[in-house]
Structure 1
Amino acid sequence: MSSEPARSGRLSRRRLFGLGAAGAAVAGAGAVAAGPLLREPPVAHASSTSDPYPFYGEHQAGIVTPAQDRLHFVAFDVTTRDRAELVDLLQEWTAAAARLTQGKESGSFGAVGGDPAAAPDDTGEALGLPASGLTLTIGFGPSLFDDRFGLAAERPAALADLPKFPGEQLIPEISGGDICVQACAHDPQVAVHAIRNLARIGFGRVSVRWSQLGFGRTSSTSRAQATPRNLMGFKDGTNNLKLEDAALLRQQLWADAADGPAWMAGGAYLVTRKIRMTIETWDRTSLTEQEQIFGRDKGEGAPLGKKHEFDALDFAARRPDGQPYIAARSHVRLAHPSSHGEARLLRRGYNFVDGSDGLGRLDAGLFFIAYQRDPRKQFVPIQMELARHDPLNEYVKHVSSGLFACPPGVRDAGDYWGRALFE
């Protein structure tokens, strides 16, 4: 695959089974069923929620892929200081991901097919389950570009550390990370199984820093999807970038070779924020105030003063009393592209409920996920404006933050996640 492992003079047992899985199970025994599917360009839609999405392509799946219903997101710290071991791991992960996203087990011998005296190659909890639209998307955090692996000169300028935003209360233990993997699927067991097996493969080279489960997507990434609702009861992501917006995606989402560095061309930058909502306080707020805060009605999702969800926002429209329908500091106005040089984000966040505290209050909210071409020009100015002026701040608290450079897609079975970065 890459010349890097050859220079190291080593071939790990896990890499042997991983590359064997890609060569034998994907391109060999399963070639009739899986091989052609893996090599097709990414498709806009799977025919059902049980079907797989292609793994190989120009861009990573799980970005413009129609947002699935379930999420398991994980951030890893790299514990090895050996560059060759890290490259081996990325190759092994890629081979496993190619199998998992097609509904197969993570290793060539699977959960029950190997030596019964040895630990199985797969944990087995997804046996009998279909692919369920699983996508696996990897990203590299700013901390990976320190002095451990000789990557400092390859750190993209767009991967600049996020500033401190007013009011945020970040918890370091659930923020950051060297590497992230986003698993999205229509079945939560499939998503959890994928992350569990990647963590298992990575044992001794990475450790889990933090993870997050999510349900009920809070954005649509395709016009074929209905707009979902967040836990405040409002439709979320009405004007989100969609996979059908080809020109806007080239402009706002995909990194270009001219942006630098070359290894990120065709990739995108990911920002995550865990936003806890004070659900109980929000639930005691009047409907009128809730709608004024958002700038949309709660039922249809229409901009205030309009009738339909997708009616154009009109910030100049006024009520009979002369006041604007949409307040100057409403959420939709503060976040609107016209307030930020037409900057847009591709959002694919999820609701979360992590139990409750000792007083019975839900630990719940939004796990915000946004992809973009350059966070300095997109997420940062948008979030700074919201942090300073959004009336929603009375009801939310940002407790976790992540920033990652997601490389372009894996082209074929000879490629691996982040290959251009390490060559």
Structure 2
Amino acid sequence: MAQKPPTERGAGDAAVQKGPRDRSDPGHPAGTADTGPGAADSGPGAAGPGPGPGTSAAAGFSRRRLLGTAGATGLVLGAAGAGTGYAVGEAGGSGEPGAEGRPLSTLGTDMVMFHGKHQPGITTPMQAHGHLLAFDLAPGAGRKEAAALLRRWSGTAARLMAGEPAATAGGRDTDVARDAGPSLLTVTFGFGHSFFARTGLERSRPDALDPLPGFSADRLDKGRSNGDLWVQIGAQDALVAFHALRALQKEAAGAARVRWQMNGFNRSPGATARPMTTRNLMGQIDGTNNPKPSEKDFARRVFVPEDGAPAWMAGGSYAVVRRIRMLLDDWEQLSGGEQERVIGRRKSDGAPLSGGTETTDPRLEKTGPDGELLVPLDAHARITRPDQNGGAAMLRRPFSFHDGIDADGEPDAGLLFICWQADPLRGFVPVQRKLDRGDALSKFLRHEASGLFAVPGGAAKGEYVGQQLLEG
């Protein structure tokens, strides 16, 4: 199986690096294996595209010894148009440290740079585990306290993403992620509409952060919506993600308190025999039409331009976050053919009902022997097509969620929808309005929480996220 370069860089200038492992562990010969991006969305949400070439890491991980991350495991990057997953090649892992000839996975060595033009977690490959949190500033806290918190958070995020201990205010790491590598950990920070009034920065609040309009599918819980500050955490390892969550929560003490928290997951790397676009909890392939960094207008659609307004948002993006409940009991009562007509794609491989493969453009005017359109007028795939929405597009990068069974005995499960765009009024809003008017999928969805956040560009070394806003 062909080897790929050990480092990669994406459109967000956040390098995905193959970190060196601790060589002090005897019996584990050195070696590397390569990983690549996952993807999601053509349904209610989607995944981010993968990275391109970059530079390798130089520092070892003193706290998290990478036990058994040796040998070529055959984990390779798969690039298949709109989105891919991870694939495991010939060599398997025993899961037991020191098993001769059976090296453990090297997923733990993947590392993303915290500092860069854009924040990590936007174009970074989809991760298997995620946490979304919103914080409100504590009573009496203002601009000064917010700046100190973002400085602490940025420092902690940079250390954790490099596989280093969390030097929290208490002075002691929790050791939750001890022995693990960075595991593609990313931490992303954003500001909500209310943040600017709390900090006396109303004049710096961008127009694009105006509240989203209401939609007919909304059943929003205000207590789980919006917030002064937003944090997105993603990692390939659940303990690494939880470790970052706890570290950031502890750093916020006294300055901000959690407003809401949501936990999500995606398909684990190596779960499929070949690279594949992931599926959502409805069983649909989910990620086919996501914009890709290779497209010439990708940056224009996703990131605020350098000469954009306000200046502190240059290189940043706007994140729309929606907790979308999937009414799975109702959905699963449909036959496979009925489900396909709701989506407009084959469930088996994601190809449009008009024929072809997953990446084939739907032939929206094609009819069957009965004269009926093969892709129905209200099919989700038709309504969400950018060419059916004046070119409106967004980078969708969600997590699935399952929070148990509700009082009616139905699964509380669905999609933590996250989409990125340079302007939500030109990205999310027009598409959602059209879905509101006639998407066949809408009757199986319920939007239960919502938030819109301004996510500034990345921080340079020695700086913190949002510094230009808070100190400008």
Which category describes the TM-score, using the shorter chain as reference length?
Answer: 0.7 to 0.9
Per-residue deviation, residues 334-376 of structure 1 (Å, max 9, x unmatched) = 1110121111110110110001123431100111010001001
Stretches (4+) displaced over 3 A: 44-48
Q: Is 1:278–1:396's contact at 8 Å kept on the other side of the alignment?
A: yes
Aligned length in residues: 368
Q: State yes or no: 1:353 paired with 2:402.
A: yes
Per-residue deviation, residues 16-53 of structure 1 (Å, max 9, x unmatched) = xxxxxxxxxxxxxxx95179xxxxxxxx9999521211
Which residue number corresponds to residue 175 of structure 2? 124
CA distance in 2, matches of 1:151, 1:243: 33
Which residue number corresponds to residue 22 of structure 1? none
Which residue number corresponds to residue 335 of structure 2? 286
* Pairing partner for 1:196 from 231, 246, 263: 246
Q: Is 1:64–1:242's contact at 8 Å kept on the other side of the alignment?
A: no
TM-score calculated relative to the size of structure 2 = 0.75
Which residue number corresponds to residue 396 of structure 1? 445
Question: What is the DSSP-based 3-state SS (H/G/I as helix, E as strand, rest coil) of the residue aligned with 1:317?
Answer: coil
Which residue number corresponds to residue 113 of structure 1? none
CA RMSD of aligned residues (A): 2.2
Which residue number corresponds to residue 218 of structure 2? 168
Which residue number corresponds to residue 191 of structure 2? 140
Letter in 2 for 1:267: G
Structure ranking higher in helix proportion: 1
CA distance in 2, matches of 1:347, 1:249: 13
Question: What is the DSSP-based 3-state SS (H/G/I as helix, E as strand, rest coil) of the residue aligned with 1:96?
Answer: helix
CA distance in 2, matches of 1:254, 1:90: 21
Q: State yes or no: 1:235 paired with 2:285.
A: yes
Q: Is 2:168–2:250's contact at 8 Å kept on the other side of the alignment?
A: no
- Which residues in structure 2 correspond to 1:2-401 (within 5 Å)? 33=59, 49-50=107-108, 51-79=110-138, 80-107=140-167, 119-146=170-197, 148-216=198-266, 226-245=276-295, 247-401=296-450
Per-residue deviation, residues 105-134 of structure 1 (Å, max 9, x unmatched) = 11079xxxxxxxxx4432221111111100
Specify whether residues 73 and 108 from structure 1 end up closer, same or farther in structure 2 by C-alpha distance, changes over 3 A only: closer
CA distance in 1, matches of 2:408, 2:394: 36
Letter in 1 for 2:326: M
Q: Is 1:94–1:417's contact at 8 Å kept on the other side of the alignment?
A: yes
TM-score calculated relative to the size of structure 1 = 0.83
Deviates more, 1:120-129 or 1:254-263: 120-129
Per-residue deviation, residues 277-317 of structure 1 (Å, max 9, x unmatched) = 11111111111111011000000110002131111111111
CA distance in 2, matches of 1:122, 1:63: 27
Gaps of 5+ in 2: 1-56, 62-76, 79-85, 87-104, 269-273
Letter in 2 for 1:131: P
Q: Is 2:317–2:456's contact at 8 Å kept on the other side of the alignment?
A: yes
CA distance in 2, matches of 1:262, 1:390: 37
Q: Give the Å deviation of 1:242.
A: 2.5
CA distance in 1, matches of 2:239, 2:311: 36
Letter in 1 for 2:166: S
Q: Is 1:346–1:370's contact at 8 Å kept on the other side of the alignment?
A: yes
Which residue number corresponds to residue 221 of structure 1? none
CA distance in 2, matches of 1:138, 1:249: 21
Specify whether residues 171 and 181 from structure 1 end up closer, same or farther in structure 2 by C-alpha distance, changes over 3 A only: same
Per-residue deviation, residues 225-282 of structure 1 (Å, max 9, x unmatched) = 631001110001201123343x222220010133300000100000011011111111
CA distance in 2, matches of 1:56, 1:48: 23
Which residue number corresponds to residue 419 of structure 1? 467
CA distance in 2, matches of 1:236, 1:94: 32
Q: Is 2:161–2:185's contact at 8 Å kept on the other side of the alignment?
A: yes
Letter in 2 for 1:415: E
Specify whether residues 249 and 172 from structure 1 end up closer, same or farther in structure 2 by C-alpha distance, changes over 3 A only: same
Share of identical aligned residues, percent?
42
Specify whether residues 342 and 34 from structure 1 end up closer, same or farther in structure 2 by C-alpha distance, changes over 3 A only: farther
